[in-house]
C-alpha cells in the first residue's frame, strides 16, 4: 500500500513539473526566437561530441534495459546513424536557413516574395523503447537545426537509457533548451496533452490515435511515425540466397523489434521450400547458438515476450506450422521462428509482430502478391527483391508505403538525404535531413512592396478604365 501511494505521489509530481518545464522553454524561446546559424551549429557539434564520448555509457544503459542488447547493434543502429544525422544537418544548416526567393506575378509588380524558415518554438518528442537513442536523437537533431527548444519523453520501458540520456544531455544543454522527461504511462499521457508547437510521436498505431486525439485539443500539429505490417516480396527470378540473407538481417537486427522490420514475406509458391532452407542457413550462420551469445538481442521485457509467445500459440491453434530456426534459450532470448500456412484469422497476421517471428505467404503471380499487399493497411516500409527493372517499376507504381528498399531491408532509414515517414495507418509527416528541418520550421511567406504602389489601380471605386484593362490582360 505504501509503495502504491509513493508511486502515485511521484507520478503526480512528474506531471505537475511538465507545465513548468514547458513554460521555462517558452520563455527561453521568446528571449531568442531566431537563433543564428552559428549557435545552432554549436548545439549540433556539442551533441555529436557527446555521442562519441559517451558511447560506452549508452551501450551499457540500453543493454541493461533489454536484458541483453548486442553492443554492435547499438553502435550500428543507434549511435552511427544518430551521428551521421547530426553531421549531415550541421554541414547544410546555413543553406537550409536561407530565405528562398519566390516568383511574383506580373500583375502584382513591383514587389518581391520570399519564404522565411522560422523556428516553431517548443517541440515535444515521444520516444518508443525499441531504439531509445536513435528515435530521440533523430527528432532532436531536426528540432535543434530548426532553432527550437525540445522536450523529450522517454519510454517507461527503458528507464536506464532514459536516466543516462537525461544526465548526458544535461551536461551540454540547459533544461530550457533540451529536457528529458521520465515517468510511467500516466506521465506520457499528460505529456501528449501539453500545448506544444509541434509534437512528434513514434510508436504503435493504436497509441498514435490517442496521441493525435490529445494533440487535437490544442490544435498541436503532429508527426506520427507508426508501424504496421511491412511486407518483403521475393520475386520469381532473384537468387534465393540474396533475398534470404538480406531479409534475415532485417528480421534479426534487434531481434525483430524494429518498426520497419519485415513483418511477413511473400514468396512464389514453387520457391517456398528453397527460401526456408536458405533462410535457415543464413540465420544459423548469424547465430550458431543464442544461449549467452552477446550478439543475440533479448526481447525488451516479459510483457512483450508473453505477447509474442501468445502469437505463436494462437497461430498454431489456427493451423499454422511453426519452423523454429535456432535451439531454445532461457530468459527473454526468443529464437527465430518461420510460420507457414498462415491466414488472416491469426493474430500474427493482424498485428505488427515486433519480434523474431516471420510468416511466409506463398503467391502465384506478381499481380497476386501486389493485390495481397494492397488489400491491407498501407505499411511503413516495403521490400522488393528482384533485379528486373520493369518488375521493380511495377511494384513501385502499384503499391503505397512510407518507404521502399529494392533488394535490401531497413537501410533506407539511415539515408539522411531522404525523408522518413509513414502513410495512412503507418503515420503522417516526415523527418530526417532537410525534411526534419522543414517539419520543425514555419515556412512563412513574406510579400514585400516598395513605396510605389501600382496596386492602387484596382482600388475602389470600381469600373475605371485601368481596371478594365487589367481584366482584359490577366483574366484569360
Q: What is the set of active-site residues?
A: 225, 259
Round to the nearest angstrom and report the end-to-end CA distance of the chain. 79
Strand 222-225 relative to strand 198-202, pairing:
parallel
The residue written with cell numbers 506450422 in the block is: 321
User: What is the widest separation between alpha-carbon atoms in the chain?
Assistant: 89
Number of other residues whose CB lies within 10 A of the CB of residue 284: 15
Q: How far apart are CA 12 and CA 302, in angstroms?
A: 26
Name residues whose C-beta falls within 8 Å of residue 62's C-beta, 6 or more positions apart in sequence: 69, 74, 78, 132, 133, 158, 160, 161
CA distances from 218 to 183, 221, 450 (A): 22, 9, 38
DSSP-H helix ranges across 32-133? 37-53, 55-66, 71-74, 80-97
Q: How far apart are CA 352 and CA 193, in angstroms?
A: 26
For residue 7 the three cell numbers come to 508511486
CB 361 within 8 A of CB 266: yes
Tell me the torsion sign for CA atoms 102, 106, 107, 109: positive
DSSP state of 75: I
Amino acid at each position: 500500500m505504501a509503495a502504491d501511494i509513493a508511486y502515485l505521489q511521484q507520478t503526480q509530481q512528474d506531471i505537475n513539473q511538465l507545465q513548468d518545464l514547458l513554460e521555462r522553454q517558452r520563455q527561453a524561446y521568446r528571449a531568442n526566437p531566431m537563433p543564428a546559424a552559428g549557435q545552432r551549429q554549436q548545439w549540433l557539434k556539442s551533441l555529436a561530441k557527446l555521442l562519441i564520448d559517451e558511447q560506452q555509457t549508452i551501450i551499457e544503459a540500453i543493454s541493461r534495459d533489454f536484458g541483453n542488447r548486442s553492443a554492435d547493434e547499438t553502435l550500428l543502429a543507434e549511435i552511427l546513424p544518430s551521428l551521421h544525422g547530426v553531421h549531415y544537418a550541421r554541414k547544410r544548416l546555413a543553406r537550409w536557413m536561407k530565405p528562398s526567393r519566390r516568383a511574383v506575378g506580373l500583375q502584382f509588380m513591383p514587389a518581391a516574395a520570399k519564404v522565411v524558415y522560422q523556428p516553431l518554438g517548443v517541440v515535444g518528442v515521444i520516444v518508443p523503447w525499441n531504439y531509445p537513442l536513435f528515435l530521440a536523437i533523430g527528432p532532436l537533431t531536426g528540432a535543434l537545426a530548426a532553432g527550437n527548444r525540445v522536450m523529450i519523453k522517454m519510454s517507461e520501458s527503458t528507464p536506464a537509457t532514459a536516466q543516462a540520456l537525461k544526465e548526458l544531455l544535461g551536461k551540454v544543454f540547459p533544461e530550457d533548451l533540451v529536457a528529458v522527461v521520465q515517468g510511467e504511462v500516466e506521465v506520457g499521457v499528460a505529456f501528449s496533452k501539453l500545448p506544444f508547437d509541434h509534437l512528434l510521436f513514434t510508436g504503435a498505431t493504436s497509441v498514435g490515435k490517442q496521441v493525435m486525439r490529445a494533440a487535437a485539443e490544442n490544435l498541436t500539429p503532429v508527426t506520427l511515425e507508426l508501424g504496421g505490417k511491412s511486407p518483403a516480396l521475393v520475386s520469381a527470378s532473384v537468387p534465393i540466397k540474396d533475398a534470404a540473407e538480406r531479409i534475415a538481417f532485417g528480421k534479426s537486427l534487434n531481434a525483430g523489434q524494429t518498426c520497419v522490420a519485415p513483418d511477413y514475406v511473400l514468396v512464389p509458391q514453387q520457391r517456398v521450400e528453397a527460401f526456408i532452407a536458405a533462410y535457415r542457413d543464413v540465420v544459423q550462420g548469424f547465430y550458431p547458438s543464442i544461449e549467452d551469445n552477446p550478439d543475440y538481442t533479448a526481447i525488451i521485457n516479459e510483457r512483450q515476450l508473453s505477447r509474442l509467445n501468445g502469437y505463436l500459440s494462437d497461430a498454431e491453434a489456427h493451423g499454422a506450422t511453426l519452423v523454429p530456426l535456432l535451439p531454445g534459450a532461457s530468459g527473454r532470448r526468443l529464437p527465430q521462428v518461420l510460420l507457414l500456412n498462415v491466414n488472416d484469422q491469426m493474430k500474427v497476421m493482424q498485428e505488427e509482430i515486433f519480434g523474431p517471428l516471420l510468416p511466409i505467404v506463398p503467391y502465384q503471380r506478381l499481380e497476386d502478391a501486389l493485390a495481397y499487399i494492397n488489400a491491407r493497411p498501407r505499411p511503413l516500409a516495403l521490400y522488393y527483391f528482384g533485379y528486373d527493372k520493369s518488375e521493380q517499376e511495377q511494384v513501385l507504381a502499384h503499391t503505397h508505403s512510407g518507404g521502399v528498399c529494392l533488394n535490401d531491408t531497413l537501410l533506407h532509414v539511415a539515408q539522411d538525404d531522404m525523408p522518413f515517414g509513414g502513410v495512412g495507418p503507418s503515420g503522417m509527416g516526415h523527418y530526417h535531413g532537410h525534411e526534419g528541418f522543414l517539419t520543425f520550421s514555419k515556412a512563412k511567406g513574406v510579400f514585400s512592396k516598395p513605396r510605389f504602389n501600382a496596386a492602387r489601380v484596382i482600388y475602389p471605386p470600381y469600373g475605371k478604365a485601368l481596371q478594365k484593362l487589367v481584366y482584359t490582360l490577366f483574366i484569360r
